[in-house]
Amino acid sequence: MRTYGSPIVRRAFAVALFLRAGGIAIAASGDLPAKLEGHGGPIKAISVSADGKRVLTASFDYSIIYWDISKPKGRIVSRLIGHESAVNDVAFVPGSDRAVSVSDDGTLGIWDLEKGALVKRIPAPRSKVLDIDVSADGRLAAVARWDHTARIYDLFRAEEVAVLSGHRGPVNSVVFSADASRLYSASYDGTILEWDVAKGERLRPIYRHGWGINTLALIDKDRLLFGAVDGTVGIAGISAADKIADLAKRDRPIQRVKLSHDGALMAYGDGSGHIGVFLASSGTLVEESDVTFGPIWDFDFVPDTYQMFHVGLDDFVARWQIAPRKFAAIKSKYPRRFQVRDATDAGELEFQRKCSVCHTLTPDDGNRAGPTLYKLFGRRAGTLKGYQYSKALIDSDIVWSEETIGRLFDHGPDKVLPGTKMPLQRLKSVTRRDALIDFLKRATKPKAEE
């Protein structure tokens, strides 16, 4: 594992953290779970509560998990299911027992964490929604959408109150000012825009970058941290409306930037599994490392511990202790099941690459986005107990067979089953389609029937 920064800087960093904590020892690594397991697909987002005892994770498996991390093993409090596509971001609502989430299905979800239940899913035109931010008073939520808009919601009334149009490309990230009077949005069009929240009006561009901007975080009242498609990690000034500094330049896109809960540290995660940590006051690099294979889709600091959890293509959450400097022994498997490039059976290869991210072949569904395919042939669509199907599947009279599965891959789920939450998967090659169907006939058959 590569690390950077001089030993003197890292030693000074550790001492500074100890003094900042008033001489009180920070939580040891053994006090926090090293790993959180429970999702059935890659994890898109993570949020740690302000008291450091709870965690929310959002996944490609369409679910959110609410975790208790107050003990070293970690525990699932509840699994929150209600979105109809991958859940891309999730956040605690300050001063309440609620959370909010956004998804590829275009909706914003409001959740009661005490009851482990969906309060309301607020509809909007179906478009990928990547990011959500909640105002410090817990009243407003803002989201970044790929239909070129940002939107603001009143969480007390559980309704949309503003649609902010002005970007020329997908909006990737949003963040409120400290008093929530302003909203800042970052887009694939390469701009950061400032908005008047009360009026729902665009004020001005804050910064124009030559490449798309993926992620944004508020450092203080006059500085924004951003990460871009070209690998730039930079700071944009708000009042000056220009770039103040470049902190890093990576050879992969920056997927996420974020500050620690106390605002002392800021960090980025990139598309290669690399994380860098800086002092927010000076922009000094204090630690960086390659912590996983593949992208860092999100991370969050644990308050008062100088540790963080990070997520990406793995089905689990991993912890990284920043200071005192210690690297976890957790390693990702590569290739993952959906990254297999070769197999002796052509049908198995298609299954691993096209289907395994959402489905298992065993009686257990593995908490994945779709139901198990065990005993698939001869089963009526939408009838497997324990899985929350879309209305399109429940109302369907399709029985799965070579012919119906073939139509699914020939035309796509959106054509065969309009309204389904199944992701679009098509196979233009008849040979590859037939190989997949032949493999499924063999692999989904109960062992006693072979």
- Predicted pLDDT of residue 235: 97
The superfamily (CATH) of domain 337-449 is Cytochrome c-like domain (1.10.760.10)
Contact 168, 187 (CB under 8 A): yes
Q: Which pTM was predicted? A: 0.87
Contact 267, 299 (CB under 8 A): yes
Domain residue limits, the chain: 7-321, 337-449
- Predicted pLDDT of residue 18: 43
Where do we find the tokens 């909007």?
124
- Predicted pLDDT of residue 408: 85
- Predicted pLDDT of residue 23: 39
Pairing of strands 140-145, 149-154: antiparallel
pLDDT per residue over 405-420, tens digit each? 888 888 888 787 887 7
Q: Give the chain's residues under pLDDT 70.
A: 1-30, 325-331, 334-335, 337-341, 424, 448-450
Q: Which residues pair with 48 in a beta bridge?
A: 55
- Predicted pLDDT of residue 292: 87
Contact 444, 438 (CB under 8 A): no
What are the two backbone dihedrals, phi and then psi, of residue 234, each rounded to the nearest 5 degrees?
A: -140, 175
- Predicted pLDDT of residue 448: 64
pLDDT per residue over 316-364, tens digit each? 999 998 877 665 545 677 667 666 667 778 888 888 888 888 889 899 8
The domain 7-321: what is its CATH number? 2.130.10.10
The order of strands in the sheet holding 117-122 is 87-92, 98-103, 108-112, 117-122
How many Å apart are CA 236 and CA 242, to the nearest integer? 6
What are the two backbone dihedrals, phi and then psi, of residue 61, each rounded to the nearest 5 degrees?
A: -80, 10
What are the two backbone dihedrals, phi and then psi, of residue 121, each rounded to the nearest 5 degrees?
A: -115, 110
